[in-house]
Amino acid sequence: MSKIKDVAVIGTGVIGIGWIIRCLAHGKRVRAYDINPKNKNDLIEEIKRTRPFIKKVFYKNKINLKNLSFFTKLDEALLNAEIIFECVPENYSVKIKLMKQIGLFSKPFSVISSSSSGLLPSKIYSKCKNPQRGLIGHPFNPVYLLPGVEIVPGKKTKKVYINKARKFYKSISMNPIMIKKELPGYLADRLQEALWREGLHIINEGHATTEDLDRAIEDGPGIRWSLMGTFLTFHLAGGKAGMKHMLEQFGPALKLPWTKLKSPTLTKKLVNRLVTGTKKQSKGKSVARISNIRDEYFVNLLKLRKKYENKIRN
């Protein structure tokens, strides 16, 4: 079990807030920092909004706001932190610059974990004086509810820090997915990206709206995916003979030119279709309102999933 109690969260946007809520719900002391101090208000609002969901998922774990401190200086936020979550925008130059500072001011032997969705850790830590302590801990939104986190080492990351991170993530009720070597996009976002690109092509060509494509996932594959990934799902699609028969039947379709793979250009027309399409789907509901509906659904789904996932995985 991880003994880490003090954490720092740098960047308190969507993902930083998610880490803060999850860590607070597990009794950690959190030191937060953002270049925009106004973000503190969003953070407090989000803690309030998510309170009922946190209570349901983590049962007795209540959030004690005394465990949260917000700082206006990076070095003060890093003080004493044994694990640091970097959650600034997905941009190499921003992250490289920040990691250089984190390397200078962080406590020796602390783990530095970037939330990046697909950038290479060796590059992110290229100007950091302690790349051996740096890795990626890629979570999924909403971080306070979803258990997955991809741990990706850089070329210089030492095993001891990977193990420390793994133990820590487990201590906040997460299921780390260990990736042996860095690769762009890691695993989950590489898969998501393929789907996203195909969707953009279909919308660009005018075959469907954002809503049509969302329904195509929500009512079919999406329900399956919450219990089983693509491979086990396709194994069942082959009937008694499983994957072998599935490949005999659908293997030839791999040669058909169904997918486009290269991404389309984000032209004004395509951006407009995506923005107006999703706005229409929202039916006047705010992002916070839809997030509440999603979170309530996830809380119930996670409970249901717990009952079945062990039967599949063990």
Ligand X SMILES: NC(=O)c1ccc[n+]([C@@H]2O[C@H](COP(=O)([O-])OP(=O)(O)OC[C@H]3O[C@@H](n4cnc5c(N)ncnc54)[C@H](O)[C@@H]3O)[C@@H](O)[C@H]2O)c1
Binding window for ligand X (CB under 6 A); candidates: 89-97, 105-113, 121-129, 257-265: 89-97
Calculate ∠ Cα 200-201-202, nearest 5°: 90
Tokens in use for 86?
A: 């970097």
Report the residue number, 41 or 310, with the smaller CB distance to ligand X.
41
Binding window for ligand X (CB under 6 A); candidates: 10-18, 196-204, 221-229, 247-255: 10-18
**Residue window 98-137: x/- pattern of binding to ligand X, with contact defined by CB under 6 A:** x----------------xxx--------------------
CA gap 220, 8 in Å, rounded? 40
Instruction: Return the bridge partners of 69, or none.
Output: 31
Report the residue number, 76 or 90, with the smaller CB distance to ligand X.
90
CA gap 145, 57 in Å, rounded? 8
CA 206 from chain centre, in angstroms, equals: 30
Q: Is 15 in the site for ligand X (CB under 6 A)?
A: yes
CA gap 157, 117 in Å, rounded? 18
Calculate ∠ Cα 259-265-266, nearest 5°: 115
CB of 95 to ligand X, least distance (A): 7
135 neighbors 112 (Cβ within 8 angstroms): yes
Report the residue number, 182 or 246, with the smaller CB distance to ligand X.
182
CA gap 89, 87 in Å, rounded? 7
Per-residue DSSP letter, 58: S
Selected from 141, 259, 272, 282, the binder of ligand X by CB under 6 A is: 141
**Residue window 284-313: x/- pattern of binding to ligand X, with contact defined by CB under 6 A:** ------------------------------
Report the residue number, 69 or 233, with the smaller CB distance to ligand X.
69
Residues 25-44 binding ligand X (CB under 6 A) are 33-36, 39
CA gap 65, 79 in Å, rounded? 19
Q: Is 4 in the site for ligand X (CB under 6 A)?
A: no
Query: Which residues of the shown chain bind ligand X in the complex (CB under 6 A)?
Result: 10-16, 33-36, 39, 87-90, 94, 98, 115-117, 138-139, 141
